[in-house]
Chain A
Amino acid sequence: MPLDLVVNVTIAGVLTGLVYGLMALGLSVIFGVVRVVNFAHGEMMTIAMYAAVILFGAFKVDPFLAVLPVAAVFFALGYALQAGLINPFITRPEHSQFILLVAVATIMVNGLLIGFGPDARNLQVPYQLESWEFGKILLDKARIYAAAAALATSAALFLFFKYSLTGKAIRACADNNLGALVVGLNVKHLYALTFGLGSACVAVAGCMMILLVDVTPNLGPAYTLLAFVIVIVGGLGSMPGALLGGVLIGVSEALAGLYITPSAKSMMSFGLLILVLLFRPQGLLGRKA
């Protein structure tokens, strides 16, 4: 196996992993704080991708710029979804939450099918197919930009949660719900805020993802599953954990694809999930409960 092949594949794995991590970031935030199993996560990202396509089609807005309006809208929608629909389900058993979000996901997927039809949609920006060449090493431009966006978003979130007052309040809710209520925090509002933030993250991920993948109505479920795997592997509620989980999955899948057969590379992520669940259930960077 020539060295440049291994290096190229590993780099690609890291970059792809960062983009996966960006996608999982929103879920980590939501799941880590609100403890709701958001099984409509992938579908939300799919809607964001369609939004980016529409903005590009209508106004020629580059997805990096589209991030701002789309994320803002998603923040609002996420807030409304949590406050309006999901809030009573936090104390309900998991299977109820699950059905609630599966129903929401079904409505989203089929709404997209009705609205957009089954054709794959995409946008075409000039840098999408370009790559930087360093000898035999090729760096895909679109992936580098998306990975950079992932790091930036992750950093922003991290700083928000660590230093801002609202961020600390949210973390307090996550750590101790009862205590937060006692202290007088408006937990319902904070939960909705968190869901909004998580949704905004998903929106950013969608705008990045459309550079790499065409969008179809049923793109969501596979990404929902992947997001959960990454969040659990990386650690609940940990932003660096989501990125790390993503990179780990990306690289292990890439190397498995290289040395074994590519069609079995998804087995790596599930195998990794099983191992983490058994031996380190809090995830790599999560805190022990």
Chain B
Amino acid sequence: MNRRDFNKAAAVVGAASAFSPLNVLAQGARLKVGVLLPRSGVQALIGQSCQKGADIAPAVLKQIFGVDIELMNADTESNVDTARTRAERLIQEGANVLVGAFDSGHTSAIAQVAEQRGVPFVINIAAAPPITEQGYKFVFRNFPTAIDLTRNGLSLMGEIFRTTSVAPRSCVFMHVNDTFGQAMSKAIPPTLARLTELPFKILDTISYDPAAKDLTVEVSKAKAANADFLMLVCRLNDAIILRREMAKQRWNPMGIISPGSPGLYEEQYNKALGPLAEYAICNTVWYNPKSEMTKIVGAQFKKQFPKDELTFHGTNVGYTFDAVMIAADAFRRSKSADPKVLAEAIRATDIPVARRMSLGGPIKFNAKGQVEGNLSAAIQNQKGLPRVTLPAQFAESKVIFPSPDYKKS
């Protein structure tokens, strides 16, 4: 059956059930969600982590909404050509809605396809601002832009210092020279100027190559700045190398705080470094540990991935699950799998805080298809697991700053 026939059938079903007294869908109506993620290639680790968020969705959404979700998984292979053709293929095979794609470049290419074909595209993770600045009608993003991430990450830093009553006077800022690092380094000076409650000065800024396997020079320079704490924007592999190098060079600042980046909270960081990973703080988007949805998802995650810990996939699973959930919620309300109807339903989304897994306000899309009000949390490694320590109303434990092995040099 091709898409047109399916749509006609779905419309009939939809029309019929709109008049039925029960808020359930007719038998056989299901939502086909095309999931586009980089499961191989250089972004494989994050892609596979995000995929877990999609994999647990059907069971959870059946339980909560009573809807049937069929996942159509496609591997973008960390390549924009593949991302585009796979998106076309999924639409061809009847996907009613697309979810993806982690990488801003791939996401932008897929967005163009989605817009062209009139199929809604719910972005799980991609921070580049231009994606929702194109006037698209079919592209929706429940993820903060790099600008929001920076602002939230930095103001959380102020929270940390306020909560622990410690006021470091200086920091050294190290960042990986990639999209995130560069966005942060541009956004930090004006943000710091505006957030007058942030008491510290940046003594030195050191940018390094994400592919660098040796960070001796970078750490030497950072140590020589003699700052109170290290502000770090990194990725996983370089974070591990960096931390080891810090240990070798006997540099123990007050703490390592990231205003928002992957790496510090990840499983590999904790496992590879053991006790050295403790007390690193990352202010990033995360799931809401106190939300109902998180608890339900957590239970399903344990069932499907017994050897894994949900907490290591806080960002990836939280936001990917929510993206699929948004699609399912729209399906539940529109009672139709027709992409155009779905798009309108998604635009009218209003999911309260308790019903969303990722941390933030209610999920509502503005005129540009962007959700505002997504929050960052201060995630600190404590006893080998990343824990939400701030904002206080969502905290799982108290933040520890300065780090117990802080040595004034």
- Do chains A and B make direct contact within the complex (CB under 8 angstroms)? yes
A residues lining the B interface (CB < 8 Å): 2, 5, 8-9, 12-13, 16, 110, 113, 117-120, 122, 124, 128-131, 133, 138, 140, 212-214, 216-218, 222, 253-254, 257-258, 261-266
Decide: A118 near B248, CB < 8 A? Known: A5-B224, A9-B216.
no
- B211: Cβ under 8 A from any A Cβ: yes
Distance (Å) between the CB of B246 and the closest chain A CB? 10
Task: Using A129-B244, A213-B241 as known contacts, say yes or no to A122 and B217 having CB atoms under 8 A apart.
Answer: no
* Stretch of B40-48, B52-60, B116-124 lying at the A interface: B40-48
Leading 9 A-B pairs by shortest Cβ distance: A263-B177, A257-B217, A118-B44, A12-B216, A118-B45, A263-B207, A262-B208, A129-B247, A131-B248
In the bound assembly, the distance between CA atoms of A258 and B206 in angstroms comes to 10
Q: Are A130 and B209 in contact (CB under 8 A)?
A: no
Interface residue B1 (Cβ < 8 Å from any Cβ of A): no
In this assembly, does B237 line the interface, its C-beta being within 8 Å of a C-beta of chain A? yes
Chain B proximity of A245: nearest CB distance (Å): 16
* Interface residue ranges, B against A (CB under 8 Å): 40-42, 44-45, 48, 177, 206-209, 211-218, 220-221, 224, 236-237, 240-241, 244, 247-250, 267-268, 272, 274, 276
Interchain nearest-CB distance for B261 vs A (Å): 15
Residues in A whose Cβ lies below 8 Å from that of B217: 9, 12-13, 253-254, 257-258, 262, 265
Tell me if A222 and B211 are in contact (CB < 8 A).
yes
Contact B209 A9 (CB under 8 A): no
The answer to whether A214 and B247 touch across the interface, beta carbons within 8 angstroms, is no
Chain A residue with Cβ nearest B206:
A262
A218 to B274, CA, bound (A): 24
B207 & A8 in contact (Cβ 8 Å cutoff): no
B185 CB, nearest partner CB in chain A, Å: 11
Q: In the assembled complex, which residues on chain A have CB atoms less than 8 Å from the CB atom of B211? A: 222, 266
Residue from the list B177, B206, B216, B240 in contact with A254, Cβ < 8 A:
B216
Find out whether the CB atom of B250 lies under 8 angstroms from the CB atom of A138. yes
B177: which A residues are within 8 A, CB to CB?
A: 263
A262 touching B218 by the CB < 8 A rule?
yes
The reply to whether A130 and B220 contact each other, CB–CB distance below 8 Å, is: no
Q: How far is the CA of A254 from the CA of B221 in the complex (A)?
A: 11
Q: Of all chain B residues, which has the CB nearest A2?
A: B224
Which residues from chain B contact A9 at a C-beta distance below 8 Å?
216-217, 220
Decide if B214 touches A120 in the complex (CB within 8 Å). Answer: no
In contact, A262 and B207 (Cβ under 8 angstroms): yes
A2 to B223, CA, bound (A): 12
Closest partner residue, chain A, to B268 (CB atom): A120
Are the CB atoms of B268 and A119 closer together than 8 Å? yes
Q: Which of A8, A214, A217 touches B237 (beta carbons < 8 Å)?
A: A214
Chain B residues contacting A264 (CB-CB under 8 Å) are 209
CA distance A217 to B215 in the complex (A): 21
Do B240 and A214 have beta carbons less than 8 Å apart?
yes
Collect the chain A residues with CB atoms within 8 Å of residue B237's CB: 120, 214, 216
A2-B224, A129-B247, A138-B249 given; A213·B44 CB < 8 A? no
Q: Are B218 and A110 in contact (CB under 8 A)?
A: no
14 inter-chain pairs at a CB distance below 8 angstroms, sorted by A residue, are A2-B224, A12-B217, A113-B40, A118-B48, A122-B240, A122-B272, A138-B250, A140-B216, A216-B45, A258-B217, A262-B209, A262-B218, A263-B208, A265-B217
Chain A residues positioned under 8 Å from B276 (CB to CB): 129
CA distance A23 to B45 in the complex (A): 26
Bound state CA distance, A131 and B276, in angstroms?
16
**In the complex, which residues of chain B have a beta carbon less than 8 angstroms from the beta carbon of A218?**
41-42, 44
> Per a CB cutoff under 8 Å, which of B41, B44, B212 touches A262?
B212
A12 near B209: Cβ-Cβ < 8 Å: no
